[in-house]
């Protein structure tokens, strides 16, 4: 029993064989997948998937790469979309100062506007942070009542501490299986009732699939690595992370 809390399931990478991808996921023991809509177009595609398959939930928002597209129309779309029951979170949203695809002040205002909408809707926020730890921490501190997920965590200890102090959740991806992963301390420092697991598919496939397309079934590799770091049976780690996902995203309890 495990949940992939972050997969870009509407991505065209899955268009050739999405039914087989989903069959492999359920066969691997997944009970739910959160399909990430990182733009209005992908969120609408994810909603079509969720309508056809009740084990798929959706996060809808505007990724920092697309922050330049934030507008009053997009705000109205997100406000309405967050009311839909299949939509369990706003996002992914956040700040990416590595790629800087949108100006940083534009990224910050789109991020804050989405947090405000998540708060109004009573839904969680899925956060992308890259080379922007201190600004992400400051913005999260100014929106303390939105439950947040630090997705594909690979940030520094200050953002980890800020997130945990705010009672947020930390989601680990296939990066934890990479040879150059050096943040086992973050896995150990995150309380068991705050850890989530994800693939971030189609990106970041875990070892031994690294370099190929990632898919939800591979979240088992992520869970195995985290269980090993923490010295826990993998079943126990999976059950804890599934319960955490149910809590933060408001799934019916398992």
Residues that bind Zn ion (CB under 5 A): 200
Q: How far is the CB of 192 from Zn ion (least distance, A)?
A: 24
DSSP annotation string for 157-169: HHHHHHHHHTT-E
Question: Which one, 66 or 165, has the nearer CB to Zn ion?
Answer: 66
Question: Which one, 59 or 186, has the nearer CB to Zn ion?
Answer: 59
CA distance 170 to 193: 10
Q: Is the dihedral of CA 58, 64, 65, 68 positive or negative?
A: positive
The residue with its CB nearest to Zn ion is 200
Q: How far is the CB of 209 from Zn ion (least distance, A)?
A: 17
Question: Which one, 96 or 200, has the nearer CB to Zn ion?
Answer: 200
Q: How far is the CB of 200 from Zn ion (least distance, A)?
A: 5
Q: How far is the CB of 72 from Zn ion (least distance, A)?
A: 25
Paired tokens of 102: 């949108």
Question: Which one, 133 or 200, has the nearer CB to Zn ion?
Answer: 200
Is there a contact between 50 and 56 (Cβ–Cβ < 8 Å)? yes
Angle at 129 between CA 50 and CA 228, to 5 degrees: 80
Cβ neighbors of 212 (< 8 A, separation 6 or more) are 205
């Amino acid at each position: 029993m495990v949940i992939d809390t972050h997969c870009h399931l509407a991505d065209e990478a899955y268009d050739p064989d999405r039914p087989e991808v989903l069959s492999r996921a359920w066969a691997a023991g997944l009970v739910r997948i959160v399909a990430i809509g990182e733009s209005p177009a992908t969120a609408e595609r994810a909603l079509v998937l969720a309508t056809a398959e009740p084990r798929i939930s959706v996060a809808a928002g505007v990724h920092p790469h697309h922050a330049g597209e934030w507008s009053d129309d997009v705000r109205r779309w997100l406000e309405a979309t967050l009311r839909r029951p299949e939509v369990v979170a706003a996002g992914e949203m956040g700040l990416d100062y590595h790629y800087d695809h949108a100006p940083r002040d534009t990224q910050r205002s789109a991020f804050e506007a989405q947090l405000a909408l998540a708060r109004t809707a009573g839904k969680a926020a899925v956060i992308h942070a890259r080379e922007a730890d201190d600004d992400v921490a400051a913005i999260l501190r100014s929106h303390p009542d939105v439950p947040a997920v630090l997705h594909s965590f690979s940030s520094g200890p200050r953002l980890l501490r800020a997130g945990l102090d705010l009672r947020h959740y930390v989601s680990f991806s296939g990066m934890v299986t990479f040879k150059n992963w050096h943040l086992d301390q973050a896995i150990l420092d995150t309380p068991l009732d705050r850890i989530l697991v994800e693939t971030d598919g189609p990106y970041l496939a875990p070892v031994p699939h690294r370099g190929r397309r990632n898919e939800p079934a591979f979240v088992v590799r992520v869970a195995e690595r985290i269980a090993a770091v923490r010295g826990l049976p993998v079943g126990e780690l999976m059950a804890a992370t599934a319960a955490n996902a149910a809590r933060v995203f408001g799934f019916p309890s398992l």
